[in-house]
Chain A
Amino acid sequence: MFNKSSTGRSTFAKIVAIAMLCFAVGGAFAQKQTTIRMAWWGGETRHKATVAAAEAFMKKYPNITVKTEYQGWEGYYDKLITQLAAGTGPDIFQFAIAWFGDFQKNPEMFADIKKVPGLDIGGWTQTSFDYSTLVGKTIGLPLGANGRILVYNKTLADKLGIKIDGYLTWETFAKTIKEARAKDPSVIGYSGTMDQYGYPLISWLVQKTGKPYISAGAEFGFTEKDFAEGLEMFKGWFADGTFQTLEKTVLLKASWSDPDWLNGKVLFSETPVTQITQHLKYKYEVGFTRYPVIAGAKLTGVEIGPNLMFCVNAKTKDMDAVVKLANFLNTDPEGAKLMALERGVPTNKQAYDVLVKNGMIDNVTKIAMKLIDDTDTGKFSYFDPVEVRDLLHTALQQVGLKGNVSADAAAKEFYTKASKVLKNFK
């Protein structure tokens, strides 16, 4: 059946096949094994999605091991900055725009994204990159479009016959809560962590003054009197039940962990858009609306835009592996699908297109995006040093906890101490 020449061809083909296999195997072994570290903070769904993406990446690039280091918000920054300072920082890490102030004099710790060879940055617009630019250097790959919005218990509102139509002003926000509490005094108007009381106060201050909370030159955009006025308003709300009793929430470390919120007794809280999926798991239905805004305000004081980013450690020992990982997470169809909406709607066009094509941008997200679009009144510089934030929390506790300081005294203390802190950033 087989002639000599065909047998010879067959033998030759086998040898070639074996040789190719040997080369392939040998080639794989020849590829340098490397390990890179990736760090981020977030909730459970973000952790799962990112770990899954890292695993998919390792399957695609078996010679690269990605060591994932993830945790909640609390303590992430302290750990990261200590590691970076000690030269043991992760190779790629999630970073927030709010921390830019600390690195104004040290941008050399971050790789210049626009100068990293092989990094696919074509999917981002310059507007997006503006958010990740620190003293003229692009230090991060902007992630999802983000912004803070109000979340409310729709089931409770419906039960009480309260309609939350259109956008709220601070007056209608308080009036809505008053109306709800008139119908059921056990209802709590608003609850959150200290940060979640701080954000609305900052927002109100910016709306009132039309100036950033803290300017790029490290100056407050408001006066001590403005601050006292805001604190007085909040003090009243803590006292009359518009806000949850501060004793119950002052020590909360995680957002939306107030048992009253989880049990459906609270009408409002606030949330970044990147976390909206968290709210779809409650026993009750939620709705979303815009942050309250003073009519005619020039700025809403709400942080809008891609405030999260992935940064690359300038001291990474394997930039090539980091580039591959960054490209996979942000622009590869498989990576983009796995990362999904866990850091908001991607600002990278390739990733965004993948999610649209796969029908992964749901209606809730679309509504949330519309809300932040409607809140956006231009880029809002959100310079927020940790020490000033702690002082803000102290001022809120002074007026919010029972039997404490007057709004004027708390404002004076905050303004004096925080102004001293800001001097270090000038």
Chain B
Amino acid sequence: MSSLTKHNRVAYLYIAPWLIGFFCLTLVPFVSTFVFSFTDYSVLRPPTFVGLANYVKMFTEDDLFPKSLWVTTKYVFISVPLKLAFALLVAIILNKNIKGIGLYRTIYYMPSIFGGSVALSILWRMLFQGDGFINRLLATVGIMGPDWLGDQRFSLITISLLQVWQFGSSMVLFLAALKQVPEYLYEAARIDGAGKLRIFRSITLPLITPIVFFNLVMQTVNAFQSFTTAFVITSGGPLHSTYLYAILLYDNAFKYFKMGYASALSWVLFMILMVVTGFLFKSSSSWMHYMDTES
């Protein structure tokens, strides 16, 4: 018994850095924002209790709240499927036995190492601005490209593409899943005369659905919280066409110093993510397959 306690102590000691980080940097702010969401807190003055006023304001007065939510939803619907499709496509290519495959895998993973960094966002802005590389390239074939970022019709799609470009982590997971698909199933399908598309649709895709589901949940949650890309490239403009929810939250917290309201916004985002994730989990039973349950 005492030996077990001693072991426990050692274990707790090992995980102490994580526990301290979790309590100080996650749990305390998490609870604090819940408390602050019922206050008027301007940072410069002590918070005052206002009950549900912040939540009421969000749903009745602030027209940027539904607007940013709509922009974010569009962003999620554009970027997540594109990213997953692209990641899967690259994973399928990288699953082939070709010479130097290790190098290719590393190269394709690199954009994800850079992540949604500020430097990458600035580079993206330079590529897509009015006289940027993309428009110069188009000009060489006689096409006058639009102002990809300054024109409201294209700005959201343009920043969504940067999200797609960071497909590496999803791709690695897809690659691992593809490797788990038993070769004998492919052989049997080929003997039965199935074509490549049929094999993909009837064997590969069903068997990797657990990873598709995992990637879908993770990328959806990430996309709902996206901030850096849009903030650095467009600051949410022009005319709020790229005003993602996280920018609304940031503006209220650190630009207008309405910490109470920003806390309420963060809790509503949390609830939205819970509902979306719950929906994905519920829907997964109708399309996700596990090999052991199928066999």
**Taking beta carbons and an 8 Å cutoff, which residues of A are in contact with B?**
78, 81-82, 84-85, 102-103, 105-106, 109, 246-251, 253, 259, 386-387, 390, 394, 397-398, 401, 404, 420
Contact = CB atoms under 8 A, between A and B. Distances in A.
A246 B149 CA distance: 12
A386 B44 contact: no
A102 B45 CA distance: 11
Contacts, number: 62
B239 A398 contact: yes
Interface centre among A103, A247, A386 (most CB of B within 10 A): A247
Q: Which 3 A-B pairs have the closest CB atoms?
A: A247-B150, A85-B43, A250-B238
A45 B238 CA distance: 31
The A interface is mostly helix, strand or loop, or mixed, namely: helix
B256 A387 contact: yes
A401 B152 CA distance: 9
B237 interface: yes
B105 interface: no
A264 to B, nearest CB: 15
A397 B43 contact: no
A106 B44 contact: yes
A251 B150 contact: yes
A250 B256 contact: no
Nearest to B152: A401
A247 B45 contact: no
B238 A105 contact: no
A81 B238 CA distance: 26
A250 to B, nearest CB: 4
A386 B251 CA distance: 10
A249 B255 CA distance: 22
Contacts of A81: 43-44, 257
Given A82-B254, A401-B238, A404-B239, A248 B150 contact: yes
A105 B43 CA distance: 12
Contacts of B131: 259
A278 to B, nearest CB: 21
Interface in B235-260: 235, 237-240, 251, 254-257
B44 A103 contact: yes
B111 interface: no
The B interface is mostly helix, strand or loop, or mixed, namely: loop
Contact of A386 (B125, B237, B255): B255
25 contacts: A78-B254, A78-B255, A81-B44, A82-B43, A82-B254, A84-B44, A103-B44, A105-B44, A105-B45, A106-B45, A109-B44, A247-B147, A247-B150, A247-B151, A247-B238, A250-B150, A250-B237, A251-B149, A251-B150, A251-B237, A259-B131, A394-B240, A397-B237, A397-B238, A420-B61
Contact of A251 (B43, B235, B254, B257): B235
Interface centre among A253, A398, A401, A420 (most CB of B within 10 A): A401
Contacts of B240: 394
Contacts of B149: 251
B259 to A, nearest CB: 9
Nearest to B61: A420
A84 B45 CA distance: 12
A246 B239 CA distance: 11
Contacts of A248: 130, 147, 150
Interface string B141-171: 0000001011110000000000000000000
Contacts of A249: 150
Interface string B100-123: 000000000000000000000000
B234 interface: yes
Contacts of B257: 81, 85, 102
Contacts of A78: 254-255
Contacts of A102: 44, 257
Contacts of A250: 150, 237-238
A325 B142 CA distance: 59
Nearest to B150: A247
Contact of B44 (A85, A246, A397): A85
B185 to A, nearest CB: 51
A394 B254 contact: no
Contacts of A109: 44
Contacts of A404: 239
A247 B254 CA distance: 27
Contacts of A85: 43-44, 257
A10 to B, nearest CB: 66
Contacts of A246: 150, 238
Nearest to B132: A259
B73 to A, nearest CB: 21
B235 to A, nearest CB: 7
A247 B241 CA distance: 13
Contacts of B237: 250-251, 397
A255 B137 CA distance: 27
A397 B234 CA distance: 14
Nearest to A385: B256
A386 B254 CA distance: 11
Nearest to B252: A387
A387 B147 CA distance: 27
Interface string B33-61: 00000000001110000000000000001
Interface centre among B130, B131, B149, B233 (most CB of A within 10 A): B130
